[in-house]
Structure 1
Amino acid sequence: MDEKPSTRKGPDFCSLRYGLAVVMHLSNLTIMTQRVSLSIAIIAMVNSTQQPTPANASTDRPLAGALEGPSRSTKEFNTGTSVYEWSPETQGLIFSSISYGIILTLIPSGYLAGIFGAKQMLGAGLLISSLLTLFTPLAADWGVSLVIVIRTAQGMAQGMAWTGQFTIWARWAPPLERSKLTSIAGSGAAVGSFIILCVGGLISQALGWPFIFYIFGSLGCVCSLLWFTVIYDDPMRHPCISIREKEHIVASLAQQSTSRRRSVPIKAMARCLPLWAIFMGFFSHFWLCTIIVTYLPTYIRSVLHVNIGESGVLSSLPFVAASTCTILGGQLADFLLSRNLLRLITVRKLFSSLGLLLPSLCAVALPFVASSYVTTIVLLILIPGTSNLCDSGFIINTLDVAPRYASFLMGISRGFGLIAGIVSSTATGFLIGQDSVSGWKNVFFLSAAVNMFGLFFYLMFGQAEIQDWAKERTLTRL
C-alpha cells in the first residue's frame, strides 16, 4: 500500500472511474430491484388465508377481494390479478431458488470474466435478468414450478452480473480509493432495495402486482443498453479517459499488475486461512442479510399488521440507512488508510466487527420489542445499515490478499454467501410455518449465532497482505 497518490490533490469525482462507479451503482440498483420485487409482490400474490391478519380487514382492502371470483387454483384480486395458495414453506423455496441460480454461475463467470473481459458478461447478465423479470407474472399463472425455474435462471444471469465487477475494479480502482469506489457501486443494491420496497406496494395497489415486474424489468433493459455503451474493461482502452487519470491509475496499480493468462493456484487457495476467513465472513453476513431482504415485508405485515402499501414503504426505510452506511463506511475506511491512522488489516477487521456484531444485537432484540411499533422499525432500520459496514471489511478483502484473482475469489466468496442465503431462506420459511411468534424468535437468534461464528473466524485468521501464491512472478507462461 505504498503507492504514490500524493501526486494528485485528491480523488477527482468527475473522473471516469467515478463515472464507472455511478453506472455500476445503477446496474446494481436494477439487479436488486428485480431480485427483491418478489418479496413485496408476494404479499399480494399469496392467498390471504395463508397470512395471519387482524380482524379489521379495512387495512387489507387489496386482499379483501381475494375470496371473490372463481379460478382453478387461484382467486382474483380486485385489480384483476391472480392470488395463489402458496404456503410459507413453498414461499421459502421460491425465495431461495434465485440463490441456487447465482451459485451455478458465480465461480465460472468470475473466472471467465477475468479472461474474456467483464463488460460483456455483466451486460448480458443484466439484460437476461431483466427479460426474465418481465416473464415472471406469466410464469406464476402457469405454476409454481415454472416460477422456481425462472427465478433460478434469473439467478444465473445475476451471478454473471455480480462477479465481473471485481475484475473491472482490479484494473480501474487505485488501492487507496477502492473502498470509496466499491462502496459507491455496491450501495446501488441498498438503493435498489429501498426503491422497490418503497414503490412496489403502491404499484401493486394501483396497477396490480404484475406491473412491479413489468416496470423494473423494462428499466433493466434500458440500463443494460447504457452499460454496453459507456463501459470499458480497462482504462487503457477507454477512448475518453484523460492522460492524467490514465497515468494515475497505471502508476497506482504498478505493483499489482496482472497477467492475462495464468493457472489458478487452487491448492494454495484451499490451504489459505485468510481466504477461509473471508469465506466465513461472507457466509455469516449473507445469512442475516438474505432474511432481511427477502422476508422484511412479510415480517412487517405479520407483526405490525399493515397493508401492502404501508408494508412496502416501511420495508424500504432500512435500505436508506444501508446505502448511507455503505458510502460513509467506504469514505471513513479510506480516510483512516490515507492518513495512516490505522493499518489496513485493522481497518478491515474493525469494519467487519461492526458489520457483524451490531446487526446481531439488533436482531436478538427484535422479538422482545414486537409490541412497540417505533422500536421495531428503528431496529429493522439499523440491521441493514450496520450490516453494510462489512463492505469496507472482508467484502473487499480479496482485493488486498489476491488482486490478481479478485474476480474468481469473489465468485467463491459470494458462493459461500449464497449457500447461507439458500439455507436461511428455506429455514426461515420452515420455522415461521410451524409457529409465527416463536418461529421469528428462532430465526433471529440463529442468525446472531451464525454472525458471531463468522466474526470470530475472521478476527482469528483474517489478513490484508498479498499472499505468496498471488504475487506476480518474473517468469510467466504465455
Structure 2
Amino acid sequence: MTMSIAIPAMVNHTAPSSHHNDSIERPSPDFPDYQNETSKEFKAEAPVYDWNPEIQGIILSSPNYASFFTPISSGYLAGVFGAKRVVGAGLFISSILNLFVPMAADTGVTLLIVIRVVQGIAQVMVTTGQYSIWTKWAPPLERSHLISIAASGALLGSFIIFAIGGLLSQTIGWPYIFYIFGGIGCVSSLLWFPLVYDDPVNHPFISTGEKEYILCSLAQQDSSPGWSLPIKAMIKCLPLWAILVFYFCHYWPFYVMMSYTPTYINSVLEANLRDSGILSALPFISGFICIILGGLLADFLLSRNIFKLITIRKLFTAIGVLFPCLLMVCLYWVRSSASTTVAFLVLSPGLSSLCDSGALVNILDIAPRYAGFLKGLSQVFAHIAGAISPTVAGVFLSQYKELGWRNTFLLSAAVNMLGLVFYLIFGKADVQNWAKEQTFNNF
C-alpha cells in the first residue's frame, strides 16, 4: 500500500521528459482552500519520474507477478515448520525491502519491479501462513468473527498508511513513506516471534479453561493433513472450484481499487497530495468496521440457527458483491461531484468486506484439515487477478484518455459479478468427503 499512496507524488504528469523535478500539484474547485494552503506549505523536494500509465500499472501489479507461485509452497511450509516462522519471516523480508524502494526507484524501473516482486512473495508467506494458525486456534462457531478481526488489521494498516502517506509526501517527501512504514514492519516482525504461538497447547499465558475450550471445540474436526493430498478429488470438487473462481473474480476489482484509489482521487478530483491521502484512507476505515461487524453477525446467525451455514455464506457474499459493483459502475458518472465520489468509495469496501464472512472463509467449512494448502491455492487465483487487473487498468488509462476509468470500472464489476454467479450455483458449506478421511488414491 505504500506504493499506491506514494505513486501520485512519484510521477510527473505535466513536465517534459526528465528524471528529477519538483512535485507538481493541481488546484481543484472541489477544494477551494487549496491555493492558499499550498502557497504556505513547505514544498518537499523528492525525485519525480516520467512513468506513463502503463508503467505505473506494471509497478502496481508487480508484487503479484510471482506471488501465484508461492502460496501452495508457503502453506506446505507452514504445516511443516510452523506458521509462526513462515509468517514472521515473510513480514521481516517484506518490511526490510521497503526501506530500499526509494533507492531502487532512483536506480531504475527494473530494479524497483524486482524488489516489489520479492516483496510480493514475502507477503504471500504472511497471508497464507496465518490460516494454518487459525485451524488450531479458531473454534468453529467463532471462526468468522476471529478471522474477520485478523483480516481487519490489513484495512486498518492501509487506512493509517493512506491517511499519513499523503501528508508525508507533501511535507518531507514520498521516500519517507517507505522508510517509516518499512521500519514499523521490521519492529512488528521482531515482536511477532516472542509473542505468537502455533497452537494453544504450547502457549505459556493462555488459561487452562480457554485452552480446554478451544481443544474440545476442535476435537471433532480432523485438521491434520498428513503428508499426502487428495489431488484428484480436489480437481473434481465443484464447491472448491466455486471458491477458487470467486477468489479470482473478487480480487480483480479489489486490486484495482487498492492500487488506483489515490491516483483516481488525485487525477479525477484533482486533490493535492495531502487531501488525496486523507480521502483515500476513508474507504479503509469503513472496511475495517464492517469486516468485524460482518463476522459478528455471521457467527450470531449461525449460533442461533437462524440460517444454515451455506445460506449465511451465500447471503453475505451476494451483498458483498452486488452493492459494491453498483457503486463502482456509477463512479464514472458521478465524478463531477467530489462528495458523491468519496461517498461511493467509502461505502464500497465496507459492503465488500462482508465477503470475508462469506465465500472467502468458505474453505475452512469444506476442508478444514487442508486449510493451509487450500488457502494457498486460493491465493494463487487471487494473485493472478492482482497481476492482471492493475496492468489492464494501466493499459486502459493509457489508451483511452476519456473513457479509461469507465472501462476499468465496468470490466471490474463484470468480472466480480461472474464470480458471484458461479459461487451461488456451486458453493457448498459441508465438509467434503475427501476432506474427512484419506480413502482416495493420493499423489
Bin of the TM-score, shorter chain as denominator length:
over 0.9
Q: 1-side partners of 2:28 and 2:333: how far apart?
A: 23
3-state SS of the aligned residue for 1:255?
A: coil
What is the match of residue 257 of structure 1? 222
Alignment of 1:57-68 (within 5 A): 59=34
SS in 2 for 1:436: coil
2:175 aligned to which of 210, 215, 221: 210
1:375 to 336, 340, 350: 340
Offset at 1:344? 0.3
Cα distance in structure 2, aligned partners of 1:330 and 1:453: 24
Q: What residue number does 1:452 align with?
A: 417
| Rounded Cα–Cα distance in structure 1 between residues aligned with 2:10 and 2:311 | 47
Amino acid at match of 1:114: G
Q: Partner of 1:271 in structure 2?
A: 236
- Residue deviations 1:100-143, cap 9 Å, x none? 23223111101211222100000000000000000101111110
Name the residue aligned to 1:361: 326
TM-score, scaled relative to structure 1: 0.86
Structure 2 counterpart of 1:97, one-letter code: S
Among candidates 378, 381, 390, match of residue 355 of structure 2: 390
Work out the CA distance in 1 between the residues paired with 2:272 and 2:421: 40
Does residue 1:231 correspond to 2:193, yes or no? no
Report how many aligned residue pairs link the two structures.
430
Residue of structure 1 in register with 2:51 after alignment: 86
SS at match of 1:185: helix
Distance, in Å, in 2 between the alignment partners of 1:49 and 1:151 is: 26
Q: For residue 460 of structure 1, what is the amino acid of its counterpart? A: I
Partner residue, 1:318: 283
- 2:14 pairs with 1:46: no
Aligned residue in 1 for 2:18: none
From 387, 401, 406, give the equivalent of 1:422.
387
Q: Matches of 1:474 and 1:255 in 2, distance apart?
A: 19
Query: Which residue of structure 2 aligns with residue 5 of structure 1?
Result: none
Q: Distance in 2 between matches of 1:233 and 1:54?
A: 52
Give me the whole-angstrom Cα distance separating, in 1, the residues matched to 2:271 and 2:202. Answer: 52
Q: Which secondary structure state, in structure 2, belongs to the residue aligned with residue 256 of structure 1?
A: coil
For 2:131, the aligned partner's letter is F
Task: Output the amino acid matched with 1:286.
Answer: Y
Describe the SS at the equivalent of 1:437: coil
Task: Report deviation, 1:260.
Answer: 5.7
* Equivalent residue letter for 1:284: C
Q: Distance in 2 between matches of 1:474 and 1:427?
A: 44
Offset at residue 322 of structure 1 (A): 0.6
Q: Letter of the aligned partner of 1:266 in structure 2?
A: I
Is the 1:60–1:307 Cα contact (8 Å) retained in structure 2? no
Secondary structure of 2:227's counterpart equals coil
Give yes or no for the alignment of 1:176 onto 2:176: no
CA displacement 1:238-283 (0-9 Å, x = unmatched): 1122111111111111111333633011111111100110011111
50-59 or 450-459, larger mean C-alpha shift: 50-59
Superposed CA RMSD: 2.3
Which of 290, 307, 310 aligns to 1:345? It is 310
Q: 1:472 — aligned with what?
A: 437
With normalisation by structure 2, the TM-score equals 0.93
1:472 CA drift (Å)? 3.5
Letter in 2 for 1:331: L
In structure 2, relative to structure 1, the CA distance for the partners of 1:60 and 1:106 (3 Å cut) is farther
Which structure 1 segments of 5+ residues have no match? Answer: 1-35, 65-76
- Partner residue in 1 for 2:270: 305
For the residues of structure 1 that align with 2:35 and 2:388, how far apart are their CA atoms? Answer: 31
Structure 1 distance, partners of 2:45, 2:150, is 38
Task: Give me the whole-angstrom Cα distance separating, in 2, the residues matched to 1:62 and 1:271.
Answer: 61
From 161, 166, 181, give the equivalent of 2:131.
166
Residues 435-475 of structure 1 show CA distances to partners (whole Å, capped at 9, x for unaligned) of 33311001111111111100000000000001111113599
Q: Which amino acid in the other structure matches residue 409 of structure 1? A: L
- Cα deviation for residue 48 of structure 1 reads 3.3
Matched, 1:102 2:70: no
- The residue that corresponds to 2:21 in the other structure is none
CA distance in 2, matches of 1:253, 1:178: 11
1:143-162 alignment to 2 at 5 Å? 143-162=108-127
Q: Does 1:442 align with 2:407?
A: yes
- Letter of the aligned partner of 2:193 in structure 1? F
Inter-partner Cα distance in structure 1 for 2:421 and 2:224: 35
1:335 counterpart (288, 295, 300): 300
**Separation in structure 2 between the aligned mates of residue 62 and residue 470 of structure 1, nearest angstrom:** 61
Gap change, CA 1:172 and 1:437, over 3 Å in 2:
same
Matched residue type, 2:423: Y
Among 253, 270, 279, the alignment partner of 1:288 is: 253
State the partner residue of 1:24: none
Tell me what 2:166 maps to. 201
- d(CA) in 2 for partners of 1:263, 1:61: 66
Change (3 A) 1:142 1:468: same
What corresponds to 1:20 in structure 2?
A: none
Query: For 1:112, which of 67, 70, 77 is the aligned residue?
Result: 77
